[in-house]
Structures are given as C-alpha cells and as structure tokens.
Amino acid sequence: MTLTHTRITALSLAVLAVLATVGGAFAAGGAAAVPDARITVETVDVASGEPTVGERTAVNVTVTNSGGSAAAANVTEVRVRNADGDVLDSVSGVGALSAGDSLDATLWTTFEEPGEKRLTVQAVANQSTSGEFVTVSRDTVIEVRPTEVALDLRTRALDPEDLRTDDGNENPAGDLGIGGIQGIFGGGGGLDTGDGDQDGAAPLATDSPVEVTVVNTGTTTADRVSLRAVGTAVDGAADGDDAERTVSVGPFVVEDVAPGEERRVIVDLGPLDRRSAVTVTAAFRADTDVRNDRGADRTAESTVTYPVRESTPTVTDATVRETGDGAVVVDANLGNAGEGEMTGAVVSVGDAPGVEPTPTGSEYFVGTLGASDFVGFELETTVNASVADEIPIRVTYTERGVRYTETLAVAAPESDDESDAGGTLGRIGVGGVGAAGAAASGLALVGLAGAVGVAVRTGRIGGSTGRRRDGSAP
C-alpha cells in the first residue's frame, strides 16, 4: 500500500509539473505575441523623395499605439539602420503614447554613393503595465541619385513699353504674359506702379529691361544665387580686355533655387546710348559644396543683344557714275525695310583703301524714315580703281534712343572704258535681286553680316511710296 501510494503521489506530482510548465510556457508565449501596448511604425517618409549623394536627408517617422492597446507606452528610442545593421541616426526620449495616439520623429543621414538603399527604422517602447520593452521595425527602400549641379540661365531683351499696361501703368507680371516675375533690379530701382495723384501715364522706371530666367536643371539646390550684367558695344568695340564697356550692373541677389524650380526677374541695364552685347552671369554654389567663406564658386552665363533692333537700313535703286573731274558719284535711295522708325539718319562714305570722299560730298543727312519708307541721297568720292573694288556706304541712325552704325557697299567702277554712253558705271535694273542680279549690273549691296541686299528701282519698299530729295514722289 505504501509503495502504491508513493507511486500514485509521484505520478501526480509529475503530471502537475508538466501542466505547470506548459501553462507557464503558454502564458509566456501569449505575452510575447500580444503585448499590452501594440506599437507600430506606421509610416517612413524620406523628405526629399530621391536624395542625392552628399545631401543631408531627413527620414520622417510616425510611431502609433493602436486604439486596441491595453496599455500606454513610452517611446524611449527611434533609430534608423542601413542594410549592414549600422545605426545611422537615433533619437531618444521621443514621448508617451496612449491607446490610439501617434507621434513623429525625424532622423537624418547622408549617402556617399548613388543607387538603391535599404533602411530599417526601429522604435523601442516601454509598456506601462508590465514595464517590458517592445521593439518594432519597418523597412523602406529609396533611390539615391548622383549629384548634378546645373543652372540654366535664359535672357530676353524687352522694350520698356513691354512693361506698360493699357492704362499707362507698369505691370511686368501682367503685360509680359509670363507670370511669376519676382522682382526688378537696377536702373530706376523699382517699378513705378502708377499709384498716386499722377496725371496721364506713369513715367517708366526702366530704361533697358532684360528678362532673366534662372532654372535649376540639376539635382541639388543652387544657393547664394546672384546676377550681374556687363555689356560692351556691338559696333566698333575692341575684343578682349580692351573692349569698350557700355554697362555694368549688379550683383543682385536672387533667392535659392531648388532642383526643378525657376526664378524670373527683370534686370534693368539703365541708360544705353549704343547697342550692346550684354552678358548676364549667375554666380551660385550648390548646397552640397563645402561650407566656407569663399562665397559662390560656380557660374552660369547667357548673352543677349540690347536693345532689340527693328529698323533695317537698305540701299536701293543705286547708280554709280563718274564725273568729268574724276570724282565718282553714288546716287541711290536709303530705305527702311524693318518695322521700327529710324531717326536722325545720315549716310556717308566709309573708310576703305583707295576710297577718299570729297570735302563737299562725303555726307548726306536723310532724317527720319518710318517702316517701309525711303529717301534719296547723293554722295561724292574719289576712287582708285586699281585698289578699291567697292565703295562703303556708312549708315548712322537712332532707334529708340540708341545710335547705330551699319556699313553697306556698292561696287566701285572698274575702268573708264567700260562706262556706258551716259556715264553710268553700274545700275541695278528693275527687280534685280541677289548675287547674280547684282553682278550682272555691276553693283553689289552687302549688309552688315555680308548678306547680299535687294535693289528695287520702282521706289517702293513693302508697298509704300518713297520720297526723292526734292520731296516729290518718284
């Protein structure tokens, strides 16, 4: 009996021990699987979307305690690791979370190489009921782009009238039809909006406006952007360091330009009395450059000719004849084939080897020429036929306050025995156009760029009736 009782007691104790172990394991396993505080890393967001190499990148994290949680939790740490498990950044003492609450944290990192990067964000929380720590994780994959620093600069010459509205006031963002104008620099120091007790149209505050558009085509922000404009005369200016400077304005500070963004401003060059090749330079540096006191180390440039010229001087119906005393007379019309108005027009004999203007016939004042208008002129010079092949005709005129000088040319006489009975050495016939027609008539009209001009004997350009020197119609 004793033996039997002992065996039953031992068996009972063994069964109880097994049940206690299983129950304890189940209880422990249940606590581990379903903690009282149900913490999750709800979102992981990289602020810049696709960061670039060397860019300091923000990783925004949202940690949430589920509304079904049985306990509050205190988030003690949030950290981010790379694919190798290295901690890139962490924040501690993030805050407490009741059931259904969430909180945000920001982590920072940089990447040394481009390509696909896997990040793991971990949140560690202390449960209020048991004091136990819970760690939850969330992975994210981002693409890191190589660093590209690129700034595109675009310039467009404007007329001051482009900044004027129909009621005479100024509104660059309206009349230009482009929007987004973010300021005006130089010249009058700002736009006169026309407000106040002014009679009539508001005075223009800009003399020579140029629209400048700064576009960031790279992958990193261009900061410390500043604009400077320097111009040199187009006609008659020397090259290099000896070039005659006509304008120098700036620098003007422009806001930082993020990748894909643009800034549009107007730079006023101020008063200009000559047509100028203006180079606008944007100095800047990338936000990934080493921080130092050197300032903006990078530049972008764009060149524009100011102002835009709308007049086009031409010589038409030209006759070159030799007088009895050996002088050569050029009898022709100065026409305006453009859309602008030429004022103060003067024609004269230009400088060339073998060409020497006479004291009384070297210059002729034409005056004002509207669009498609012309006026006759006569110049007298001496020509050494063995040296000179052509006679340069210098045309000087003013358009919108700027003085221009262009040189055209007519063919010089070859020899006396080639002249016709009337003394005319060269004359363009009716409708003589282009190189072939000019060569056949012994007369070449060459523009500033070397293009062959057009001679029309009928005295009309674009359908308008011209004027002779005596004011009569042809």
**Domain check: are 188 and 283 in the same one?**
yes
State pLDDT tens for residues 397-430.
988 777 788 899 898 876 555 444 334 344 333 2
Most confident segment among 75-79, 399-403, 455-459: 75-79
**Domain check: are 344 and 439 in the same one?**
yes
Q: Quick one: pLDDT at residue 166?
A: 53
445 within domain boundaries: yes
Q: Quick one: pLDDT at residue 329?
A: 92
State pLDDT tens for residues 253-280.
988 898 889 999 999 998 887 778 999 9
**Domain check: are 64 and 181 in the same one?**
no
CB-based burial label for 430 (10 Å; 0-12, 13-18, 19+)? exposed
**Domain check: are 26 and 44 in the same one?**
no
**Domain check: are 246 and 296 in the same one?**
yes
**Domain check: are 357 and 253 in the same one?**
no
Section 201-213 average pLDDT: 70
307 within domain boundaries: no
Report the percent of the chain where pLDDT is more than 90.
Answer: 32
Distance CA 51, CA 48 (A): 6
Of the residues 276, 302, 328, the one at which a domain ends: 302
Contact yes or no for 212/241 (Cβ under 8 A): no
Q: Quick one: pLDDT at residue 89?
A: 95
Q: Residue 141, Cα to own-chain centre: how many angstroms?
A: 35
**Domain check: are 74 and 136 in the same one?**
yes
Of the residues 125, 144, 163, the one at which a domain ends: 144
What are 19's two structure tokens? 């049940």
Angle at Cα 472 formed by Cα 468 and Cα 474, nearest 5°?
Answer: 65
**Domain check: are 53 and 172 in the same one?**
no
Between 334 and 161, residue with greater pLDDT:
334
Section 64-70 average pLDDT: 84
Q: How far is CA 393 from CA 322, 342, 444, 448, in A?
A: 17, 17, 12, 11
What are 414's two structure tokens? 């070859």
Rg (CA), the chain: 42
DSSP letters of 428-458?
--TT-BHHHHHHHHT---B-TTS-B-B--TT
Number of domains observed in the structure of the chain = 4
pLDDT at 252 over 80: yes
171 within domain boundaries: yes
Nearest to 253 by CA among 205, 302, 214: 214
pLDDT at 378 over 80: yes
184 within domain boundaries: yes
- The enclosing domain of 82 has a CATH number of 2.60.40.10
Section 50-76 average pLDDT: 87
Distance CA 142, CA 157 (A): 44
**Domain check: are 125 and 237 in the same one?**
no
212 within domain boundaries: yes
**Domain check: are 166 and 230 in the same one?**
yes
State pLDDT tens for residues 304-330.
988 877 889 999 888 988 888 888 999
What domain range includes position 431? 313-465
**Domain check: are 290 and 195 in the same one?**
yes
Distance CA 73, CA 63 (A): 11
**Domain check: are 320 and 458 in the same one?**
yes
251 within domain boundaries: yes
Report the percent of the chain where pLDDT is more than 70.
Answer: 68
CB-based burial label for 33 (10 Å; 0-12, 13-18, 19+)? exposed
328 within domain boundaries: yes
Distance CA 413, CA 421 (A): 14
* pTM of the predicted model as reported, rounded to 2 decimal places: 0.50
Between 301 and 245, residue with greater pLDDT:
301
308 within domain boundaries: no
pLDDT at 466 over 60: no
Angle at Cα 156 formed by Cα 229 and Cα 273, nearest 5°?
Answer: 60
